[in-house]
Structure 1
Amino acid sequence: MSRVLLKRSVWFLSLLLVGLLLAGCSAVKTANEGNKSETGKVAVSTQGTGNSEMQTITDLVGREVNVKVPAQRIVALGPGSLRLVAYAKGTDLVVGIEDMEKKVPTGRPYMFAYPELKALPTIGQGGIDTVPDEEALLSVKPDVIFIAYLVDKAKADKLQKKTGIPVVVLSYGPLATFNEEEIYRSLELVGKVIGTEQRAKEVINYVKKSQEDLRERTKGIADVDKPKVYVGALGVKGTQGIESTQAEYPPFVNIGARNVVDETGKSGSLMIEREKLVSWDPDILFIDEGGYSKVLADAQKNPSFYQALRAVKNGQVYGQIPYNFYTTNIDTALADSYYAGKVIFPERFQDIDPVKKSEEIYTFLLGKPVYEQMAEDYGGFKKLELTQP
């Protein structure tokens, strides 16, 4: 082959190679344009769920946040956030948890149901008065940060700006209450962001149907025909004694019980004078088992006070499992409601075995029956003794 022909062959092959490269680039560009969402943003492929795309959601403080949906790596900060993720079946997406969730072993059924979460990296101290640890959050590279109570709108914006990670604020309503609507909205939001919207709807429907069932069971009973009831030793920033109670106590509200504290016209946590309890003299006394040891010690020091109470004299003192631990454990609150119903209105709850019902509730909401672990920590549903016979 002559030198001229050789040069022409090399030149032709070079042109052909360039043409093939340009065609490949054009194909990639066309494919990416085809993956654009209606907003014009290119969808990003994620493992196991096909494509994710950026969506704008509105969180519980009214912030519009751009989030990759469905998120593949998440963290949950502050009271109640991780619980909602567990209800929405998103624990397999969690890439780090607060130190408090690891080191405080009791009171939170979701940690009994998902103990493997404790092996994840620590993303901050945890607790209601803590500040998010930005460096720890960045180290686990989440797609989104769910957070409750620790930030307001301005602080959420600041955290998002500093980390570059979308921050979605959730809520249970004011502390020590049971604001279903805010919980439902938060669950819906979690489900939307992690791609489990149907599961979130199922949880919401289950809670609503349970509350409807509780209300219907006592419907038509006049207040004058209901026993007077009181719950004491409710935890408020630590263990409390018999004087710590709550007006509009959710388990009582759920069953329409005659809570003597409601006569105050107030709502939420209250500290009453001991003499007021004697004046009310409830027929049935419930003790939050988180404070039972404190009440028992007080009863040994002041037996005459307790012996003056009708409920104590008649052996009508019962234990309730604490449901407020890192805000509301909805599962335990429902279980407490059914147990209170069984005690106060036995004829209306004849078909209910409180322990079996509790296991049904825990299993539906968390995937595992954890009543026995809660009972091991606190005592479970049973009569309590306050004074020596």
Structure 2
Amino acid sequence: MTPDRALTTAGLALILALGSALARGAPAGGTTIQVQDDRGRGVVLAAPARRAVTLAPHATELVYAAGAGDRLVGTVRGSDYPPAARALPVIGDGTQPDAERVAAARPDLLIAWQPSAAEPLARVMEKLGIPVFYSDPLTLDAIPGAVERMGVLFGTEREARAAAQDMRARLDALKARYASRRPVRVFVQAGLDPIFTLNDASIVSDALRICGGVNVFGQAVVVAPQVTLEGVLAARPEAVLAGVSRPEDTRKNLAAWQAMGLPAARQGHVYGVDADALYRPGPRLIDAAEAICADLDRLR
């Protein structure tokens, strides 16, 4: 970065501090807001957030689901849902957020995901008294609660509670419907060339479990291991599940697995779900779970 574009540390701190003071305002009636984030940290706000920045697409979706999308003043590249999010200013990507752009947004709350990516910026924010909330739902059951906590942070509890109740009702319906169905062995395709999969620590496996699916590599030591074709064939999956960007991607996956001699593919049991809905730990993962359950039930 050239000197004329660079902000000094002092200058950045001043912009952030002034912006935070303007955005926060005075607490109403001296009441503070306290919420525990997904790292177990107590996050305290003097008043409901009015100018927040999200550092992950799923966090953006959670905020909108809580009825607080109009409180977002910045997000990262890839935050494209709901459609209104595409109009938000972009402050970089999730791995390298631009501190100058964050400062220009004058946030009163930063919603982060992975500590390793957010830590440098988070340290600056916390020193200036700007709260940092880490969002990382690990199961489908955690998603409604995540929406409710966003409602508390933004003062939109009524909208958030209604959305969360609807999500819990949908999850309960899936559990009740598929609890006694025959288990189906599933290979989760996270990459095809080379072949990658996900283990049971992934939230994708949690969606499979609700549907009566069994991840054939669920016991792998790492979350996203590379596996061989021989390993996949030996695991004898009855179905393949992959995140896809377009419907034709599923047809390509089916043809590829048929060419590799996978019996499940020969029977047509290769399924695709919208990749963003499947891999983001946000509200649309419940939509993805409903689609997965329907696919596995057709296989049965």
Gaps of 5+ in 2: 1-24
1:178 is matched with: 139
Supply the distance in 2 between the matched residues of 1:304 and 1:77 (Cα, whole angstroms).
Answer: 40
SS in 2 for 1:247: coil
Identity %: 20
Preserved contact between residue 175 and residue 210 of structure 2 (Cα < 8 Å): yes
Is 1:95 matched up with 2:73? yes
2:289 is matched with: 337
Kindly provide the CA deviation profile for residues 100-143 of structure 1, in whole angstroms up to 9, marking residues without a partner as x. Answer: 147xxxxx532x2x1xx444444x2122x21x433322322233
Give 1:126's aligned amino acid.
D
Is 1:250 matched up with 2:209? no
Counterpart mapping for 1:216-255 below 5 A: 216-221=176-181, 225-232=182-189, 234=190, 240-241=192-193, 243-248=195-200, 249-255=205-211
Q: CA deviation at 1:293?
A: 4.8
Q: CA deviation at 1:184?
A: 4.8
Relative to 1, partners in 2 of residues 1:68 and 1:338: Cα closer, same or farther, differing over 3 Å? same
Q: How many residues align?
A: 270
Supply the distance in 2 between the matched residues of 1:210 and 1:194 (Cα, whole angstroms).
Answer: 25
Preserved contact between residue 33 and residue 48 of structure 2 (Cα < 8 Å): no
Gaps of 5+ in 1: 1-42, 46-50, 103-107, 349-389
Give 1:202's aligned amino acid.
A
Is 1:196 matched up with 2:150? no
Let me know the Cα RMSD of the aligned residues: 3.6
Is 1:319 matched up with 2:279? no
Supply the distance in 1 between the matched residues of 2:239 and 2:117 (Cα, whole angstroms).
Answer: 41
Preserved contact between residue 241 and residue 295 of structure 1 (Cα < 8 Å): no
Q: CA deviation at 1:151?
A: 5.7
Supply the distance in 2 between the matched residues of 1:188 and 1:329 (Cα, whole angstroms).
Answer: 12
TM-score, scaled to structure 2: 0.72
Supply the distance in 1 between the matched residues of 2:283 and 2:289 (Cα, whole angstroms).
Answer: 11
Kindly provide the CA deviation profile for residues 53-108 of structure 1, in whole angstroms up to 9, marking residues without a partner as x. Answer: 5515244234444423223222222353222211111111222333x147xxxxx5
Kindly provide the CA deviation profile for residues 184-205 of structure 1, in whole angstroms up to 9, marking residues without a partner as x. Answer: 5543332112111122222332
Supply the distance in 1 between the matched residues of 2:141 and 2:56 (Cα, whole angstroms).
Answer: 18
Q: CA deviation at 1:310?
A: 1.7
Relative to 1, partners in 2 of residues 1:310 and 1:88: Cα closer, same or farther, differing over 3 Å? same
Preserved contact between residue 175 and residue 211 of structure 2 (Cα < 8 Å): yes
Supply the distance in 2 between the matched residues of 1:284 and 1:277 (Cα, whole angstroms).
Answer: 11
Relative to 1, partners in 2 of residues 1:246 and 1:65: Cα closer, same or farther, differing over 3 Å? closer
Supply the distance in 1 between the matched residues of 2:239 and 2:103 (Cα, whole angstroms).
Answer: 52
Counterpart mapping for 1:58-207 below 5 A: 58-60=35-37, 61-98=39-76, 100-101=77-78, 108-110=80-82, 112=83, 114=84, 117-122=85-90, 124-127=91-94, 129-130=95-96, 132-150=97-115, 158-162=123-127, 164-173=128-137, 177-178=138-139, 180-181=141-142, 183-207=143-167
Q: CA deviation at 1:168?
A: 2.6
Q: CA deviation at 1:252?
A: 1.2
Supply the distance in 2 between the matched residues of 1:293 and 1:152 (Cα, whole angstroms).
Answer: 30
Is 1:278 matched up with 2:242? no
SS in 2 for 1:288: strand
Relative to 1, partners in 2 of residues 1:165 and 1:52: Cα closer, same or farther, differing over 3 Å? farther
Preserved contact between residue 231 and residue 285 of structure 1 (Cα < 8 Å): yes
SS in 2 for 1:261: coil
Is 1:57 matched up with 2:34? yes
Supply the distance in 1 between the matched residues of 2:279 and 2:175 (Cα, whole angstroms).
Answer: 27
Preserved contact between residue 159 and residue 167 of structure 1 (Cα < 8 Å): no
Preserved contact between residue 74 and residue 89 of structure 2 (Cα < 8 Å): yes
Supply the distance in 1 between the matched residues of 2:254 and 2:177 (Cα, whole angstroms).
Answer: 36
Q: CA deviation at 1:179?
A: 6.2
Larger radius of gyration: 1
SS in 2 for 1:279: helix
Relative to 1, partners in 2 of residues 1:140 and 1:259: Cα closer, same or farther, differing over 3 Å? closer
SS in 2 for 1:71: coil
Supply the distance in 1 between the matched residues of 2:292 and 2:89 (Cα, whole angstroms).
Answer: 39
TM-score, scaled to structure 1: 0.58
Q: CA deviation at 1:278?
A: 1.5
Q: CA deviation at 1:288?
A: 2.8
Relative to 1, partners in 2 of residues 1:150 and 1:198: Cα closer, same or farther, differing over 3 Å? same
Q: CA deviation at 1:272?
A: 1.8
Give 1:125's aligned amino acid.
G
Counterpart mapping for 1:235-384 below 5 A: 240-241=192-193, 243-248=195-200, 249-262=205-218, 264=219, 268-290=223-245, 293=249, 296=252, 304-305=259-260, 308-323=261-276, 327-331=280-284, 333-346=285-298
2:3 is matched with: none
